[in-house]
Amino acid sequence: MLASIVAVSLGGCATPPRMHDEGQLNQIALDCGLALGELMQDESEKRLLLLVHQDPSAEQRVCVAKWARKNGLKAVFVNMQFPEG
Task: Convert the pLDDT of each residue in 33-63 to its tens digit.
Answer: 999 999 999 889 999 999 998 889 999 999 9
Give me the residue spans of the domains in the chain: 42-85
SS3 for 3? Answer: helix
Q: Do 19 and 45 touch, CB atoms closer than 8 A?
A: no
pLDDT at 6: 40
Mean pLDDT computed over every residue of the chain: 84
pTM of the predicted model as reported, rounded to 2 decimal places:
0.76
